[in-house]
Structure formats: structure tokens, C-alpha cells
Amino acid sequence: MRFTARVEVRLRAGIADPEGATIERALPALGFGDVEGVRAGKLFRFSVEADDPATAAARAGELAHRLLANPVIEESSVEVEHEEPEGR
């Protein structure tokens, strides 16, 4: 069965986020004074072939840990969903 996996990669709390800080600095001048605490992260989507959702999630987590996130400064979370046979 094919599963669609979504991996979110976020900087750990306390790790400096220059991209988020730069966006946040621009906000008041652009009329977004109601927005604060901007944190930037990454999102990966891919398709995994596995027998069941638990195996697909484990494979996606392994990939996230080995390739997509730097575990020293980033944390990741994984969601998997069964792909519809006829595509979406």
C-alpha cells in the first residue's frame, strides 16, 4: 500500500531563528502589528510503500531523522495517510 507522509521540521525551542526574526521585524511596517513570535520551519511530503500505517510512519520517521532534520537543533514530527488508489 502507498502512504502519503508529511514531515514537519521545526527548530527546537531556544534555537535562534534568523528567518523568522527577519519576517517579524518587517511586520509592523506592513501593518501586521497583531502578529508576533514568527518561527520558520520546513515541511516535506513524500510517498512511502509499506504494508501498514505504522510501518510507513516508522520509515518516514527514520528518513526524517537521518536526512531531513538536524536532530541537534531541529525536531521533527511525522503524519501518514493512506493514499487513495486512483490518485488525488
By the 10 Å C-beta count (0-12 exposed, 13-18 middle, 19+ buried), 43 is classed as: exposed
DSSP state of 67: I
Q: Tell me: does residue 38 bind a copy of itself (CB under 8 A).
A: yes
Distance CA 47, CA 43 (A): 14
Binding mask 66-85 for a copy of itself (x = CB under 8 A): xxx-----------------
Rg from Cα positions in the chain: 17
User: Measured from the CB atom, is 66 or 72 closer to a copy of itself?
Assistant: 66
Q: Tell me: does residue 16 bind a copy of itself (CB under 8 A).
A: no
What residues make contact with a copy of itself under the rule CB under 8 A?
5, 8-10, 20, 23-24, 26-27, 30, 32, 34-50, 59-60, 63, 66-68
